Amino acid sequence: MKFTHLGRTGLTVSRLCLGTMNFGPHTEESDAHRIMDTAHDRGINFFDTANSYGRDSEGRLKGRTEEIIGRWFAQGGGRRERTVLATKAYAPMGDWPNEGRLSALNIRRAVEASLRRLNTDHIDLYQMHHIDRDTPWEEIWQAMEVLVTQGKIIYVGSSNFAGWHIAQAQEAARARHFLGLVSEQSLYNLLDRTIELEVVPALQHYGLGLIPWSPLRGGLLGGVLRKEREGTRVRGAQAHASEILALHRDRIQAYEDFADELGTDPADLALAWLLSRPAVTAPIVGPRTMAHLDAAVAAVEIELDQKTLDRLDEIFPGHQPAPEDYAW
């Protein structure tokens, strides 16, 4: 495994981040524990979760994924000490007021609840799962500063923020002489490159690490057409994924053909491309099985030359930074 710093911090993390959203709804607890043990064996020390993960088909049992991780930590053996733990808060965890979003009250309650579920005394990277346009930055940063002082969180990150939100957050933090954000978790893959317009330039300017989620776009960049022909496609019933596949079928076919030319698995190629992008710290891989995890680890060793990168840009055109992308 290769390692890097998370943004401008001195924190060392693996170039792949283990996503845990499948733990509970799709992956049984015993299998999830084995996947986390194997991740450590493969050198992955960066794990991501959220307080809202783990709900069932009716939206209940929020927090179950954090509980699964907490019981894994409880087994000891240096599991917690060897893990850079990231979780998130924002989604409503109940029906009563102040059980969601980013008020100082909910931030305090959400951290305490996550600490209990995760069976730990601190969270290494505490992420805002979404922008809260109703809560002022002064309130958010004051709440985060208290948690840092108490030792309950160490770093703060964002998720699904626009470039302007990152600028707002960092300038407000600067005025308080606070470190502010150290990372942003965004949708980013060969099919979804919108963040190249303004989010990536903002991250580079402020020294934030980029943690891409859905690097394979729900499996669409993982050889979906080949699996379709072989009758092994698992997630084809998802309507949204099927709509995107219908819209981009020709591009995805060209992509899979190019991966065949390179002798590379499409999923590995998609991850390797992300690892070559500016500001990217670690794509989130969310394995449902051990085989998925082992397949993802191989991508870290792939080096893409400029000719390959240019061809990928031809298949999936990206963006220049704004405003050059749309203006002279």
Known catalytic residues are 53
- What burial letters (b/e) apply to 114-146, b meaning 16+ CB within 10 Å? bbebbbbebbbbbbbbbbbeebebeebbebbbe
Contact indicator for 304, 259 with CB cutoff of 8 Å:
no
Q: What 3-state DSSP class applies to 230?
A: helix
Strands of the 284-285 sheet, one edge to the other: 209-213, 181-187, 153-159, 123-128, 84-89, 46-48, 17-19, 284-285
Neighbours of 93 (CB within 10 A): 18
Measured in residues, the chain has a length of: 328
**CA geometry: angle 287, 50, 33, nearest 5 deg:** 45
Distance CA 33, CA 39 (A): 10
Q: What 3-state DSSP class applies to 27?
A: strand
Q: What 3-state DSSP class applies to 186?
A: strand
Q: What is the 3-state secondary structure (H, E, C) of 283-302?
A: CEECCCCHHHHHHHHHHHHC
The token duo for 23 is 């733990």
Question: Could you tell me which residues come within 8 angstroms of residue 70 by beta carbon, excluding any fewer than 6 positions away?
Answer: 116, 117, 118, 119, 120
**CA geometry: angle 57, 286, 250, nearest 5 deg:** 95
**Half-sphere exposure (CA, 13 Å, Cβ side) for 24?**
25
Q: What 3-state DSSP class applies to 209?
A: strand
